[in-house]
Amino acid sequence: MKKIVLLLLICASCNAQTPIINMHDDPNYQTTIANAYYKDISNFFNQFAGTWIFENGQEKLEIRFRKREMMFSPGGVEFYEDVLVGEYKYINTEGVEKVNSLMNLSINHFNKRAYNLYSGFQLDNYGFAPQCPECPLGTKRLYMFFDEPANDDFGLDAALIIRRVVENGVEKIIAQLEHMSPASNENKANVDSPSTFRDFSVPYGFYTLIKQP
């Protein structure tokens, strides 16, 4: 019994010593600390949680976000982080459903990359991502990595940059889907094999999505 108590005390001591770091102070983790917890201390991600819908005629984009806390990040330096993850359904202008990954959001994946949307970093109005001249001073946007379940190409890459606004009491997300790199014709599973996917089903550009009850 004494050995069990001692072991618990040691474990508690180890956990207490794990540093908690504001993830938005070092968004690219340039000075990553092993076993640190990069936490969304300001709850910046919380404003995006929920279901959001864009509709234009038959075209419809539905995105659902949830916040995963203290997800393990494997790699050279292992640490923990809060992550905003998401999945989506897209119906094109002809009313044909092209993508529906919404069910994947209910799974507690071990790796954030198992989701088709996951947070990258907080974004001001500068840097390599699209500028936002219409954004009020001090606006913070979120850069999210974007994928599609059918994408088997090693090089094809896109980003979804989002910001939340309230217009006449209605919560909205202004989202921009940005093409980041073209298809490489190399398969993700084996770069010596050709890929079959050439571009994403959701058209690049701006979308205004409305918060759902």
93-124 pLDDT per residue, tens:
999 999 999 999 999 999 999 999 999 999 88
Q: Distance (Å, rounded) from C-alpha 87 to C-alpha 104?
A: 7
Domain ranges of the chain: 19-211
Looking at residue 31, what is its pLDDT? 73
* pTM, to two decimals: 0.88
Distances (CA, A) of 132 to 51, 67, 140, 180, 206: 24, 25, 10, 17, 12
Q: What pLDDT score does 32 carry?
A: 84
Pairing mode of beta strands 20-22, 37-39 = parallel
Greater pLDDT, 13 or 125: 125
> Do the beta carbons of residue 185 and residue 153 sit within 8 Å?
yes
